[in-house]
Structure 1
């Protein structure tokens, strides 16, 4: 959602590192607040391994692809997908698909992460389509996003995408997102499965809306 606003005023090459760092810092805080659970790391490993492979490709495309075209395609996808998922359709076939398909989604998420910090968009849609529980969705997305954002930020530094003059922006972000991240971690355990789904869909729909608007205007 932040990227959708920032691309109005900032070039993708500046907005992307800011989004990645803000997301990374939020996940560090959220992981520190995570309550004990019985979920195993094998649930998220296929996503992470494939996602890490996709990050360098996305980072390369960040300097090659037409930013307006990318924003429009992703925005239209979210605008179509979110209302459909709000109606709570059941896709029983998807529930039977295994780790290979999860890895494909992870790879595409990694590409989008390297391209502009959007690594969670497709995996969010996927785990919801599979009908996973709120706890499972959160576990997969939190650990996947953390791993991908950490690697993406490292790649940005290595490639020179993160410039010295960007660090003041990054420090301001670190301060400004800390309290909201703590509050969000606490609120997660107070919302129902249905409320959680509607919150996620609303945020993704808002992101899609602003992506399309920022491209058209």
Structure 2
């Protein structure tokens, strides 16, 4: 394997793994740009998805207590999301995904730009089981249709004044389930044929970088973590917009 390919694979794994360890989402946003320089799009997406799942196991372990403290809250997002993924894939045939991605990008940029630099963060405290289920379902549809399952849940959870562990105990498992579904579907399509050398580089690098991200996560305050999520929404919006324009 050429040195240039190894270099970009390690950079992508380091960037994606770190953000996975820090926030539990956003891996593809930070890794995919590096991978696409040296890999074809299908292989790049397949490797990012698998790396996200493998690195995400470490994040799940960090918030395991909070997951078991609020299992019903998690299921309100995950179960509708699982229904939404095949719906999104089915919509692919008649949907202009570019228009969809532009719309979501604009929404994320407006939201992230508005709240990122405000002194007071929003504090939506009351229980909203129906809205939670809707957010999970739409996240699944967006994941199946355009690979953006984490965008809407990230935005919604940054509005909630939950602790950083409570927030991540929903966001990370949700993304893990959606991405595992994606990995299975890509495997059936043969996307991992010939990908073993790249995986041998990206998986260890991603795992190590995720540990650095988890180290930073543990030292963030609850408010600091919410601000990270809001800034990540802004970054996701800009990243999606740039990917469509280029």
Q: What CA distance in whole angstroms lies between the structure 2 residues aligned with 1:3 and 1:60?
A: 27
Q: CA RMSD in A?
A: 2.8
Residue of 209, 229, 234 corresponding to 1:180? 209
* 1:19 matched residue in structure 2: 48
* 1:5 matched residue in structure 2: 33
How many residue pairs were aligned?
214
Q: What CA distance in whole angstroms lies between the structure 2 residues aligned with 1:116 and 1:7?
A: 18
Question: Gaps (5+ residues) in structure 2?
Answer: 1-28
Q: What CA distance in whole angstroms lies between the structure 2 residues aligned with 1:81 and 1:42?
A: 27
| Alignment TM-score, normalising by the size of structure 1 | 0.82
| Pairs within 5 Å for 1:1-217 | 1-2=29-30, 5=33, 13-34=42-63, 36-37=65-66, 39-61=69-91, 65-86=95-116, 87=118, 88-90=120-122, 92=124, 95-158=125-188, 160=189, 162-217=191-246
1:109 CA drift (Å): 1.1
Alpha carbons of structure 1 residues 214 and 150: separation in structure 2 relative to 1, 3 Å: closer
Q: CA offsets, 1:118-176, max 9 Å, x none? A: 22211111112233232211111112111221122112323x16241344434432122
Question: Gaps (5+ residues) in structure 1?
Answer: none
| Alignment TM-score, normalising by the size of structure 2 | 0.74
CA contact (8 A) 1:56 1:155 kept: no
1:11 CA drift (Å): 6.6
* 2:7 matched residue in structure 1: none
Q: What CA distance in whole angstroms lies between the structure 1 residues aligned with 2:85 and 2:114?
A: 29
